[in-house]
A and B are shown apart, each in its own frame.
Chain A
Amino acid sequence: MPLLIKDYTWTQTESMIYITVPLKEARAGKVDILSADEYLKVSAPPFLFEAFLSAPVDDSKSAAKIGDGEIVFTLHKREGAIWEHLVLQNVEKENLQNIRQNAILKAQENALKEAEAKAAKKKANEKYALETIMKIEEDQRKKIEEIKEVERRRAAEELERWKEKQRIEAEHKVAQQKLERQKLEAEKRNTNGVKDLPKSDTQTGTKTAQSKKPLVVSLPPPRSAGTIQINFTPRVFPTALRESLVPEEEEWLKKQADAGKALNNDLSELKDLTEEEKNPEWLKEKGNKLFASQNYLAAVNAYNLAIKLNSKLPSLFLNRAACHLKLRNLHKAIEDSSRALELLTPPVPDNSESRVKAHIRRGTAFCELELYVEGLQDYDAALKINPHNKTVAADAEKIRQVIQGTVPSS
């Protein structure tokens, strides 16, 4: 229970009320004042001072001074009248409660309003600051633009002046040449040397005449032919060298080299094969020939054996995928194209053709299985690598139409 302060003193004038509340042992920082038009409360734990004022006062004009162990309230009366008592007398507890609650509510409302007003003012200030900054920057920019414009105009004028100068010089030269020609003709006519030549002779005209004779500068003869043989820093790829692509290219080359060396030689079935048949390259050639002559099963056999010997050559998987397509082993075709694509990473321009083929074959297999969406994905990938291939573009269009249901699937 807080201790109520009862030993306060108060004085009044026509328009003002002065209340002095002694604060025992409470510091200024810990004092909490709640004031409303009809209610005043000071809470300085453990002390409490409450006053239900007889008449309303103007809360916004009133002030409180805290210090020296007491609080002095300076309240402005709403109506100028002398109060009998400071606080309401003989009021019931309920009324007191109501007044208290109203006061608290009002105080809260006021606080809210103040906060809003403060926020609005802050925003307005910020906006103003921003606008001024923008204006200053705009002015600076304009100044720089103007200076640049002046420079530009000056440079352009200088250029025109220089051109004029050149033109005038050129005209001078032409005029001088004419004069010299005249002079020469006059000389030819007056072989006796009576000087009746125009005065302009004595000027530089005569000197330039001598220098204007075609300067027979003897150019050296053409060089005797020679050839220099050169060697280039070796480079595997036909594209230009770029530092940033070097690591990827090296990876690809390493993979190719490894694939070439990986020969799986210790399978028992190889015992009864000829020397030729142990060479994956030769087997690939054989497979290609069989494919060309439409003997697809035999081609698949050839590729199988080649893959057993060397499972790192992407071209073997590519070609076997083509065979499976022809044999309508669509799932196997998809598997083989996928294996081929795995082996064809990292993607460099060198293996773009193979990658396009792999995507096309896998796409075709998907479409035959009526998995059109996957098929379209592969065709799009092929197009991305090589956008110039018209057949691929046309096929991709057809598949798109099938998916959208505009053309019945064939």
Chain B
Amino acid sequence: MSVSLDKPQIISHIQKSLNYTVFDTKWIPCSAKFVCMGNFARGTGVIQVYEVQQGEVLLIKEIEKSKPIKCGTFGFTSLQQRYLATGDFGGGLNVWNLETPDVPVYSVNAHKEIINAIDGVGGLGIGDGAPEIVTGSRDGTVKVWDPRQKESPVANMEPAEGEAKRDCWTVAFGHAFNEQDRCVCAGYDNGDIKLFDLRNMSLRWETNIKNGVCCVEFDRKDISMNKLVATSLEGKFHVFDMRTQHPSKGFASVSEKAHKSTVWQVRHLPQNRDIFITAGGSGSLNLWKYEYPVQRSKKDADNIDMGVAGLVGLLQNVTLSTQPISSLDWSPDKQGLCVCSAFDQTVRVLIVTKLNRV
């Protein structure tokens, strides 16, 4: 019995039932507060700020907006400002100062249809370079915005003329290890994963994983691309080793089946880039650890370098709810603390123990 309890345990610390559908939750950096974003039943959007205090969460602030809010990020703001960028159901991108939320700091009609995913880079004291926000939408386009430039995006990845559009379901920044380099990875509902290089403004790599892509994430945004995890429908996720790109075979990958349902989210632990958690449509969470292979690259028949994928091992799993867990966020300040929200209108604060011993 004592052997099994050396594994990390996922403990549900606080559970709060909300009266609206919550789509996304994010920790406010350098604090014990988090925001929940969603939509009320009357069709308006809501942002709520909660603080974790002594075994329960207290509502600090509630902000109501006209359009329901699908996603948000703090990734691009400085630690002093801590602005929240949100994407809403009408395709609008807004940046809010949570102290004065009446008027957005930055606002633009980013897309014609709902913004499904948003990510930010360049802020929070992590990495160098300009602060940027990327949004992916149902209209098939992925656009990169700079909060200092009004109205028009700094990069636009759109379908070619006459091409039928596919929904973009997820976006992620990565490879931002110096001021100029940036990469954006986008996943679409027809199974396409595309990697765009913003420095050269070109498509660097694309592949198709045969199931709609629900979530992509690099293990770290601010280093040279190391690993990318892509989760999909039908209970599968793939881990790509991004250090070695083969001209025709692309990146090496290992895939796992988990959750027996759609894998909605993947999130890497900020303190250890080889540990990540996946959230499934059956309300379960799986904690995984990636093990690197002995040699990360080898030569193929034509003497060209190609990558070698490692192994993924399950550390712990827990079922929290009967509804899909739609969003999850690790706290960047305290290792093991995370907040997640599910479609049963609850938000849960979880503590994962013993991560320093993994």
New A-B contacts (7) at CB < 8 Å, excluding given A220-B129, A243-B211, A243-B234: A166-B32, A220-B179, A222-B149, A230-B160, A241-B189, A241-B211, A242-B212
Chain B residues whose C-beta falls within 8 Å of the C-beta of A242 in the assembled complex: 211-212, 233-234
Instruction: Say yes or no: B163 contacts A232, CB within 8 Å.
Output: yes
Instruction: Say yes or no: B203 contacts A221, CB within 8 Å.
Output: no
Q: Which 5 A-B pairs have the closest CB atoms?
A: A240-B212, A226-B201, A240-B189, A222-B146, A223-B154
Chain A residues whose C-beta falls within 8 Å of the C-beta of B53 in the assembled complex: 163
Chain A residues whose C-beta falls within 8 Å of the C-beta of B353 in the assembled complex: 151, 155
* One of A142-150, A183-191, A308-316 contacting the partner: A142-150
Instruction: Say yes or no: A235 contacts B166, CB within 8 Å.
Output: yes
Residues of A near any B CB (own CB < 8 A)? 140, 143-144, 147-148, 151-152, 155-156, 159-160, 162-163, 166, 219-235, 239-244, 246
Chain A residues whose C-beta falls within 8 Å of the C-beta of B130 in the assembled complex: 219-223
Instruction: Say yes or no: B54 contacts A155, CB within 8 Å.
Output: no
Please name the residue on chain B nearest to A149 by beta carbon: B11
Contact among A140, A219, A232 with B188 in the assembled complex (CB-CB below 8 Å): A232
Instruction: Say yes or no: A159 contacts B202, CB within 8 Å.
Output: no
Chain B residues whose C-beta falls within 8 Å of the C-beta of A144 in the assembled complex: 1
**B185-205 interface mask toward A, CB cutoff 8 Å, 1 = contact, 0 = none?**
000111110101010011100
Contact among B140, B144, B159, B334 with A223 in the assembled complex (CB-CB below 8 Å): B144
**B147-159 interface mask toward A, CB cutoff 8 Å, 1 = contact, 0 = none?**
0110011111111
Instruction: Say yes or no: A151 contacts B163, CB within 8 Å.
Output: no
List 14 contacting pairs A-B, 8 Å CB cutoff, sorted by A.
A152-B13, A155-B11, A159-B13, A162-B334, A221-B130, A222-B149, A225-B154, A226-B198, A226-B201, A229-B159, A235-B166, A240-B233, A241-B210, A243-B211
Chain B residues whose C-beta falls within 8 Å of the C-beta of A147 in the assembled complex: 1, 5
Count CB-based A-B contacts (< 8 Å): 131
User: Which residues from 33 to 68 on chain B have a C-beta closer than 8 Å to any C-beta of chain A?
Assistant: 52-55
Chain B contact surface mostly? loop
Instruction: Say yes or no: B157 contacts A230, CB within 8 Å.
Output: yes
Alpha-carbon distance between A219 and B167 when the two chains are bound, in angstroms: 33
B337 at the interface (CB under 8 A from A): yes
If A155-B351, A223-B155, A233-B191 touch, does A228 touch B32 (CB 8 Å cutoff)? no
Chain B residues whose C-beta falls within 8 Å of the C-beta of A240 in the assembled complex: 167, 189-190, 211-212, 233
Instruction: Say yes or no: B146 contacts A223, CB within 8 Å.
Output: yes
Chain A residues whose C-beta falls within 8 Å of the C-beta of B336 in the assembled complex: 155
Please name the residue on chain A nearest to B53 by beta carbon: A163
B319 at the interface (CB under 8 A from A): no
B131 at the interface (CB under 8 A from A): yes
